[in-house]
Structure 1
Amino acid sequence: MSTPSSFDELYKVINKNNPFDVPPIVTGQDIWNGSFPDLTTLNAHASDAVFEVIEQVRSGKPKVTSLAFRAEIGVGKSHLIRRIRQRLQADKSAFFVYANKYGDLNLIHYQFRQILADSLKQSNGQGITQWQELAAAMVNQVVSSKKPALELVEKFPLALAKNHDLIDKLTNAILKAKPKVGDPDIVRAILWTLGDSAHAPFAIRWLAGKELSDAKAKELGLPNPTREIKLLEADALSAALQIISIASDYNPILICFDELEGTEVNEAGYFKSQVVGGLVKDLFDAIQQSDVTKGVVILSVIPPTIWEQLVNVLKGSGVEGIGDRLSSKYPEPLDLKYADGEAVVSIVDLWLQEFYQSHNLVPPNPVFPFEEEKLRSLGSEKPTIRALLKWCRDNFRVSPQPVNQKDLIQKAYERELSQDGEDFLDDSELIARAIYLGLTTLRGQTIENVLIQDVTNQIKPVKENNRSIQFKIIATENGKEEVIGVAVIQHTHGLTVGSRMNKLTMYDTFKLTRGCMIRSQDRKIKKYWEAHNWRIKLDQMGGEFIHLEAEQVKPLIAILAVYDKREGYGVSEDAISTFIADSQIAFNNLLIKEILSNPSNIISDDDSEAEPVIENESNEVKPTFIDITDEVNIDIDSFLE
């Protein structure tokens, strides 16, 4: 046994470093790539149940089954989900789909198709995505010389360069082997994921139901999705089911729904949990009727209060049976257990092992500087994992220092700001909420010679507005009252854009003196859209058009994320408001200044000479496949050598 390090060595390191000084929240990305200790014996009954049902559906009997975890927030559900994901990744026993962000609740089927595409885009830890694993399995089914996915991914771009018809040949070969496939384009798009960066990302975008440029769609031989949002929603579930059906030929699929809590509602007035519960019901019923080979497992992680609402409150609402679909395997959800005294000690031990090893230290006992008796006492209080880690963070010092809220918010803000991607540009409501939060901290301040008196998101009449104008700014400029109605309109469908712009011109109805539209510059207003006329009218009425730039709104999105997760980060609303004011995130924000300043920018029209299209009709054009008459004699393998 190693000799314990001296107290001075331990004291010096402990007082300068804190292994628990990390955000206690596990994000969605952490489920895929996070690295944190997990006590595998805690709630092992739940993870074991998942692995068991995956093996049961592998035979296709039943085709689909479901189970639910009933879990309080902070009890360690994210650690459990990550444990399941890692196990499936390690032994390649199932495809894993993780849903925790649902976007527009009015388009839940379309959102699920995007969730499916994004999940399969995640890496298996060896640089190979789940899409590529699926594509490789499909190719290996029709070639004589099977190759590992990694080798196929490395060789495929060169093989494509040698033979431009390779995708056509493989597609047709796979369709012969899989006559049940309803949409050959899906097979074609999956195969393109084996390509390089010039092809794979666009194929995945198409698989998510998103539009490609006409040139890229032609290059890939794929039809562009319809721009009619209702048709996108109507087709999304069918497309997702076809993807699931194809993937299930090779491995079971685990679909995990998480983060169902929240106050967001759709246009019908249903909460997020109810909308997602309805999606699970739709999936369960549709998969039962579909052709899946190795089965699908649906896992839902639900807080107790949400479960009661879904099972009891919805009775008589026309969406009965959700509870049976959420947990078909067991009569009731599996309850996740709180850590007891023994588990608390083991969790802290796990966290500290890596810490002391990284500093080449040997503590006098595994949980130093904590006392094992105190940790066991904490266990008797049934703490959540989140609460336990917070306690450890606050007490991991020989002389504990009070936690500084400003420092916590700064770290949380930097963490959220570092998140990759600009997916938020598709979410008008999220952008509007971020701007609104920043403006609420500026009441009583003067920016661009404008004194901000108030800002409100209560736009009346509510029915007339229909959420088009997201908030109003009441201000004074040169002694004159100004009421600015603000609408973030990132939508790509002309009817939606026109309807929302129309509301911005209704100054008398909403008691405005100016309408302000915010929209990305690359999202043109088509000249044949009705929205084009409203753009002209708003301009004539002195309205303002602001080009939305991602970098300008990103800080506001980041601090909004901290605000939304404030309980998890352990910070208060007042502290966040103070942080926004002290750091001048909102005061110096160029987008906010542009909103308050006199109108200057104009959203550009689309100057293309393309013929107008009827907005409620699909422009989808199905490509014709090359007919390979002598397909049986084609040596596909030679192109992959």
Structure 2
Amino acid sequence: MLVNGNLVSRWLEEFYQENGLTPPHELYPFDEQKLRALGKERPIVRKVLKWCADNFKLPGDNGGIGLDIHPVEPAYNQQISALETTIQDYMEDKATLAQALRLGFSAVIGETIENVQIEKVVDVQVKAVDRGYLDFKIVGKENGKDVKIAVAVLQESGGLFVQATLKRLIDYRKFDLTRGCLVRSKQINKGAAKAQKYLSELLSAELAGEWVLLKTEDIKPLLALHFVMKGRENDELSEEQIIDFIRKKRIGIDNYLIGEILSNPSGQVPEDAIDEENESGNITLTEVANVVSVASDDLFQE
């Protein structure tokens, strides 16, 4: 592969599609040998971007068409490419998934999506015993009324941790909520009676909560942005540039997960949730630790 994998060909493909052009080859008008030489230097994406801008010359081009690449785009495309093979490594990582979702919401503050005008994204104020369950809260206006939506990413399989999360997600008064939203890809064990009870309450007409199905294709762009944000200093990028990129490319405002979390709740259990009871797998050390923690917490609360 040439410089940083297929980044250059990806930029060019997008450019030609946007301008309705058909190039003679995928790297046109760049010199492949020069690109290979640049690749041997292992440059950061910003240097690749500058080289492309300096060397992009089309025959007969008098400056009317240029390769307009956002400074964040190379790093974003690089992360998207990496996630093609690594995304399953993060689908059980509650903290990373929640941070990626929160970044997406932070980039759409001030926007109105699904009739919700987003004012801010904040932590849910909790006591020590309640930490680690509810990930963040979206505050805004829905048809003129205050809305406060707690989001809980819940990928654990352990029944006690699932139960403890749902128990907190339905406690609107304690956590100052108007709605609770569960983000999860898996079914909830039908034998977990308390968890099923709390889930029924969440999805009831009274609480009007929501279960949004987590899918890799929907979280992937937000994960890519999260990793770009974490590595921004190495790529010589600023937080402001990354937020600007998200806005200009509409990655947040058009994201399915963000739209579903804000949309009018269906009150339904997602039909496509994964049935873990019919899949093989071993419980992780993290899930064991969560079970022990929840058991001790609930012992003191009951």
Which residue pairs with 1:564 in the alignment? 230
Match of 2:177 among 480, 498, 512: 512
Superposed displacement of residue 553, structure 1: 0.8
Measure, in 2, the Cα distance between the counterparts of 1:390 and 1:538.
47
Which residue pairs with 1:153 in the alignment? none
Which residue pairs with 2:189 in the alignment? 525
Given the superposition, is the C-alpha separation of residues 547 and 13 from structure 1 closer, same or farther in structure 2, using an over 3 Å criterion?
A: closer
Asked whether the equivalents of residues 133 and 152 of structure 2 are also in contact (C-alpha less than 8 Å), the reply is yes
Measure, in 2, the Cα distance between the counterparts of 1:445 and 1:486.
18
Superposed displacement of residue 465, structure 1: 2.8
**TM-superposition CA deviations, 1:358-398 (whole Å, max 9, x none):** xxxxxxxxxxxxxxxxxxxxxxxxxxxx9xx559938997x
1:415 and 2:81 are equivalent in the alignment: no
Superposed displacement of residue 588, structure 1: 0.4
Measure, in 2, the Cα distance between the counterparts of 1:396 and 1:460.
45
CA RMSD of aligned residues (A): 3.4
- Secondary structure in 1 matching 2:117: strand
Measure, in 2, the Cα distance between the counterparts of 1:392 and 1:592.
30
Superposed displacement of residue 405, structure 1: 10
Asked whether the equivalents of residues 45 and 235 of structure 2 are also in contact (C-alpha less than 8 Å), the reply is no
Which residue pairs with 1:576 in the alignment? 242
**TM-superposition CA deviations, 1:153-172 (whole Å, max 9, x none):** xxxxxxxxxxxxxxxxxxxx
Structure 1 vs Structure 2: percent identity of aligned residues?
32
| Residue identity matched to 2:179 | R
Superposed displacement of residue 400, structure 1: 6.2
Q: Which runs of 5+ in 1 are unaligned?
A: 1-11, 22-350, 353-385, 609-614, 618-641
Match of 2:262 among 585, 591, 596: 596
Which residue pairs with 2:139 in the alignment? 474
Superposed displacement of residue 533, structure 1: 1.4
Measure, in 2, the Cα distance between the counterparts of 1:392 and 1:576.
14
Superposed displacement of residue 530, structure 1: 2.2
- Secondary structure in 2 matching 1:525: coil
Given the superposition, is the C-alpha separation of residues 407 and 464 from structure 1 closer, same or farther in structure 2, using an over 3 Å criterion?
A: same
Which residue pairs with 1:544 in the alignment? 210
- Secondary structure in 2 matching 1:426: coil
Superposed displacement of residue 19, structure 1: 4.3
Which deviates further from its counterpart, 494-503 or 407-416?
Answer: 407-416
Answer with 1 or 2: which has the greater Rg.
1
Given the superposition, is the C-alpha separation of residues 473 and 19 from structure 1 closer, same or farther in structure 2, using an over 3 Å criterion?
A: farther
TM-score, with normalisation over the residues of structure 2? 0.67
Given the superposition, is the C-alpha separation of residues 532 and 539 from structure 1 closer, same or farther in structure 2, using an over 3 Å criterion?
A: same
| Residue identity matched to 1:506 | D
Measure, in 1, the Cα distance between the counterparts of 2:49 and 2:255.
38
| Residue identity matched to 2:121 | V
Measure, in 1, the Cα distance between the counterparts of 2:76 and 2:46.
22
Superposed displacement of residue 516, structure 1: 0.5
Q: Which runs of 5+ in 2 are unaligned?
A: 1-29, 56-66, 278-287, 293-302
Which residue pairs with 2:47 in the alignment? 393
Given the superposition, is the C-alpha separation of residues 16 and 494 from structure 1 closer, same or farther in structure 2, using an over 3 Å criterion?
A: same
Asked whether the equivalents of residues 20 and 390 of structure 1 are also in contact (C-alpha less than 8 Å), the reply is no
Measure, in 1, the Cα distance between the counterparts of 2:164 and 2:172.
15
1:587 and 2:253 are equivalent in the alignment: yes
Asked whether the equivalents of residues 46 and 236 of structure 2 are also in contact (C-alpha less than 8 Å), the reply is no
- Secondary structure in 1 matching 2:162: helix
**TM-superposition CA deviations, 1:260-301 (whole Å, max 9, x none):** xxxxxxxxxxxxxxxxxxxxxxxxxxxxxxxxxxxxxxxxxx
Superposed displacement of residue 526, structure 1: 2.5
| Residue identity matched to 1:578 | D
- Secondary structure in 2 matching 1:526: coil
Measure, in 2, the Cα distance between the counterparts of 1:479 and 1:551.
33
**TM-superposition CA deviations, 1:429-481 (whole Å, max 9, x none):** 2111111001001111111111111111x221242431211000011111101
Measure, in 2, the Cα distance between the counterparts of 1:478 and 1:500.
29
TM-score, with normalisation over the residues of structure 1? 0.33
Superposed displacement of residue 529, structure 1: 4.1
Measure, in 2, the Cα distance between the counterparts of 1:552 and 1:393.
30
Measure, in 1, the Cα distance between the counterparts of 2:50 and 2:102.
38
Measure, in 1, the Cα distance between the counterparts of 2:132 and 2:182.
14
Measure, in 2, the Cα distance between the counterparts of 1:441 and 1:513.
22
Show the 5 A alignment for 1:152-551: 351=40, 389=43, 393=47, 406-418=69-81, 419=83, 420-421=85-86, 422-456=88-122, 458-520=123-185, 522-540=186-204, 541-551=207-217
Asked whether the equivalents of residues 49 and 74 of structure 2 are also in contact (C-alpha less than 8 Å), the reply is no
Asked whether the equivalents of residues 519 and 603 of structure 1 are also in contact (C-alpha less than 8 Å), the reply is no
Measure, in 1, the Cα distance between the counterparts of 2:255 and 2:49.
38
Given the superposition, is the C-alpha separation of residues 414 and 394 from structure 1 closer, same or farther in structure 2, using an over 3 Å criterion?
A: closer
1:554 and 2:225 are equivalent in the alignment: no
Measure, in 1, the Cα distance between the counterparts of 2:250 and 2:167.
34
- Secondary structure in 1 matching 2:149: strand
| Residue identity matched to 1:393 | K
Asked whether the equivalents of residues 118 and 139 of structure 2 are also in contact (C-alpha less than 8 Å), the reply is yes
| Residue identity matched to 1:534 | Y
Given the superposition, is the C-alpha separation of residues 463 and 396 from structure 1 closer, same or farther in structure 2, using an over 3 Å criterion?
A: closer
